[in-house]
Structure 1
Amino acid sequence: MAEELPNPRRDIPRAIFAQVSLGAITAFLYAVALFYAVSDLDEVINTSGSFPAAVIYRQATGNAGGAFCLLLIIFLIIMICAISTVLSLGRTWWALARDQATPFGDFFSSVNEQLSCPIPATILVGVLVTGLGAIILASGTAFNDLVGSFIVLCAFSYLLAIFPHLISGRKYTPKGDFWMGKYGFVVNALGCVLIVFFNIMFCFPYAMPVSADLMNYNSVILVGVLIIVTFWWLVYGLKHYPTPKVLTEAMK
């Protein structure tokens, strides 16, 4: 979606910074409000449901109707975010398909000009998301680990993007509007160290002794994704995936 912006080198970092900043502020204020709303902590901890916030809302409002209204607001927010997420993922898959980085790239790179939307890629993402969401019907442990693996996989993707630049001395990194010079090397190196540290921490089991229900499968998911991606890269990507134009120009 960065290609739809007039100046992505400047606008994307600003948007990310604004999103993270606003998210941190609102999350902090929301957490403070929740803590002040709790009148019976034991009831929240020992709730038999899977959504403790519902108990907190009931304690704060004093009745089930008020709790339902607050939960409805969260539900509507989640629905709106889910739609925007599917659309964003559809465009991401379309961009990868356009660069022949996915199976059936020619098909999924097509765009409906009337709707200005990559219909095949969006439908595929919707089907995949629905299938992954249905996993909870079979195993709550598998679903929770799958959802939690987003943190590990996302952080590892950052590592794959940053670490090669450190090895090459950042000489192939195009200088943008937020170029930090020599300080950027320190920030990137510190980021890689923190990513490795936190990924290791997130892969530890939830409790000891470890059982099938308490096992943390994030490491299994990470290794599985790496095997699949590496296999696809060796079989198809090396021959068909082009080098990004920005990186090619920087190397020249």
Structure 2
Amino acid sequence: MANTKSHDNAVSRLDEKVPGEALDLDDAVLRAQGHEVQLERSFSWMGALGLAFSIVNSWLTYASCFGVAYSYGGGQVAIFSPIISALVQWIMLMGVAELSSAFPSSGGQYHFTYIVAPDGYKAVSAYLVGAINVIAWWVNTASGTIYTAISAFGICQFLVEGFSGTQWQVYLCYLLVILLTLLPIFIIPQQRIENMTKTAMFLSIVGFVLVVIVCLVMGRGTYHPSSLVEYRSTSGWGPGLGWLLGIGNGEYAFAAAGACVHIAEEIPSPGRKVPLVINLTIILGVFTLVPWIIAMTAVIQDMEAVQNAFLPSLELFYQATGSKAAAATLQAYLTILYYTCVPSQWITSSRMTWAFSRDNGLPYSDYWSEIDSKRNIPIRATLLSAGFCVIYGLLYIASTQAFNSIINTAVLMLNITYTVPQAILAIRGRAMLPPRYFDLGKYGYSVHVFSVLWLVLSGVLFCFPTNNPPTLSNMNYNAAVISGIFFIVLLCWIERRRKFCGPAIDWDVLNMAPAVAH
């Protein structure tokens, strides 16, 4: 009876905070964070899971970089390091899930940072996190786009003897992929866009099953179970560092699981659903990646050839099946899957760009923060994201090494944004958080401290060259790239420091909201 009275009192008080209109809890919570409702809540939790998993696509993402893991320690590192990668990334994302449950907003990490930071540091810390997050998602989208183009060219190179795509030809294909992946965003009605994300997830799971079955069936009698536990390093690094580098490499397959945070304003009950989607994305990623890499390692005939191939996955398929046609068909399906990942990346990067513009984070923010009245999506923010990718892709023509170095920093930049608000909470205390559906409770401080320590360690590892001794061709430029990005962001802050504004919080509503929901 007491609980019923408490609930009724909370509803009454919350109605007073939102006078003259029917109570919509999700909208009330958003208004309590200083923003008006502009986007429809058109994603179910399953559609949000489809979006997050189609971006992460752990087994597919690992298929683009597992050759490096083999060089760090053979099958042993390639199989077991991504399990540890999933664990450490999951712990970091649990802190993000809790914050998104407390403060559901498309702004995500910069929004959280502004709320929990001390008054004198709110603006600058939130701006740095927001700008880094925008760049990280732009670069992450460019990486999915370029690999779609590279996969298509790799098939041509594999089937046509003497064919070798030049960098400018790959760039032209990259531009075509940008155009083709933007079409669904503008053609499919927003109310049905989640059907696209769920379809992408379904196709990925079908592809995972298809690849494993075909490779195991066509490779019967040529399995090499010993490869699963064999340690074989060709990178020049010792076992300890090789394992750590393998774990860092595996994070690429899980880091983007926080994508659903940026569509929080398009999901009903985001305080409940966003943490659920983050957890399910990691679980689904592990249960597809691990069986896939075990099966692939068992059918490899020549590991060195896989490591050195233009497309390691295509070379692996050829060794497993013994058929060029079968290998090319499997890689073609992977290319289609890479394509289906990119529209979800456009959605996430555009929502992050739009949210940051809404708080005056970009030059001409009033223009970029406009929501199209017909499509009910941030079209201008989407085109800005695409424009960045078009210009950024020119770097691939000049230097593939420089292009890839910036892509590699995307994981590090995402983890920086995940960790900064958690570091502030660890210092200032978790008591400042309002009641929330997803509460880490007594494990909160452990999660925050671990996230900070792992960021420091992985930040160093991401700057190591892939081979020892390093040469000009395999040198890692991540340290220079991340320093340059920070410098550019700081210059932008000088121009934005009097214009950027964060959320104005109504703590009364946030403190009452969970009681009303129950």
TM-score in terms of structure 1 length = 0.90
1:223 shift after superposition: 1.6
Indicate the larger mover: 223-232 or 18-27. Answer: 223-232
Q: 2:451 aligns with which of 191, 212, 228?
A: 191
Q: Distance in 2 between matches of 1:212 and 1:42?
A: 21
Q: Distance in 1 between matches of 2:470 and 2:298?
A: 35
Q: 1:216 aligns with which of 458, 471, 476?
A: 476
- Stretches of structure 2 lacking an aligned partner (at least 5 in a row): 1-262, 512-518
Summarize the alignment of residues 1-252 of structure 1 with structure 2, pairs less than 5 Å apart. Answer: 1-47=263-309, 50-236=310-496, 238-246=497-505, 249=507
| Aligned residue type for 1:57 | F
**Does the 8 A contact of 2:359 with 2:502 survive in 1?**
no
Q: Give the secondary-structure state (helix, strand or coil) at the position aligned to 1:206.
A: coil
1:109 shift after superposition: 0.6
**Does the 8 A contact of 1:152 with 1:218 survive in 2?**
no
- Judging changes above 3 Å, is the alpha-carbon distance between structure 1 residues 177 and 204 closer, same or farther for their aligned structure 2 residues? same
Indicate the larger mover: 205-214 or 149-158. Answer: 205-214
1:208 shift after superposition: 4.2
Q: In the TM superposition, what whole-angstrom CA distance separates every residue of 1:70-128 from its partner, at most 9, and x where no partner exists?
A: 01111111111112101221111011111111111000011112111211111111121
Q: Distance in 2 between matches of 1:220 and 1:59?
A: 38
Equivalent position of 2:76 in the other structure: none
Q: Give the secondary-structure state (helix, strand or coil) at the position aligned to 1:241.
A: coil
| Aligned residue type for 2:379 | I
- Judging changes above 3 Å, is the alpha-carbon distance between structure 1 residues 6 and 97 closer, same or farther for their aligned structure 2 residues? same
Q: Distance in 1 between matches of 2:473 and 2:421?
A: 34
**Does the 8 A contact of 2:426 with 2:445 survive in 1?**
yes
Q: Distance in 2 between matches of 1:229 and 1:43?
A: 41
Q: Distance in 2 between matches of 1:226 and 1:216?
A: 18
TM-score in terms of structure 2 length = 0.45
- Judging changes above 3 Å, is the alpha-carbon distance between structure 1 residues 46 and 190 closer, same or farther for their aligned structure 2 residues? closer
What RMSD, in angstroms, separates the aligned Cα atoms of the two structures? 2.1
Q: Distance in 2 between matches of 1:234 and 1:214?
A: 35
- Greater relative contact order (Cα < 8 A, sep 6+): 2
Q: Distance in 1 between matches of 2:395 and 2:507?
A: 44
| Aligned residue type for 1:10 | R
Task: Kindly tell me the number of residue pairs found equivalent between the two proteins.
Answer: 248
**Does the 8 A contact of 1:90 with 1:125 survive in 2?**
yes
Indicate the larger mover: 101-110 or 221-230. Answer: 221-230
Flag as ranges the 4+ runs of structure 1 deviating above 6 A. Answer: none
Q: Distance in 1 between matches of 2:447 and 2:308?
A: 42
Q: Give the secondary-structure state (helix, strand or coil) at the position aligned to 1:171.
A: helix
| Aligned residue type for 1:66 | A
1:156 shift after superposition: 1.3
Q: Distance in 1 between matches of 2:498 and 2:328?
A: 55
Larger Rg: 2
Q: Distance in 2 between matches of 1:162 and 1:140?
A: 35
| Aligned residue type for 1:249 | W
